[in-house]
Amino acid sequence: MASRAHDWLKQALRDLEQAEDCRKAGRHEWACFVAQQAAEKSVKALHLYLGQEAWGHVVAKLLQELPQSVVVPGELMDKARVLDNFYIPPRYPNSHPEGAPFEHYGPLQSEEAIRYASEIIDFVRSKVA
CATH code assigned to 5-127: 1.20.120.330
* pTM attached to this predicted model: 0.96
> What pLDDT score was predicted for residue 3?
85
pLDDT tens profile 16-44: 999 999 999 999 999 999 999 999 999 99
CA separation for the pair 107, 126 (Å, rounded): 28
pLDDT tens profile 41-90: 999 999 999 999 899 999 999 999 999 999 999 999 999 999 999 999 99
pLDDT for residue 13 is more than 70: yes
Please name the residue ranges forming H helices in the chain: 5-24, 28-49, 59-64, 74-84, 107-127
Identify the burial level of 129 via C-beta atoms within 10 angstroms of its C-beta, where 0-12 means exposed, 13-18 middle and 19 or more buried: exposed
pLDDT for residue 129 is more than 80: no
Mean pLDDT of 94-106: 96
So where are the chain's domains? 5-127
Instruction: Give helix 107-127 / helix 74-84 axis angle, nearest 10°.
Output: 130
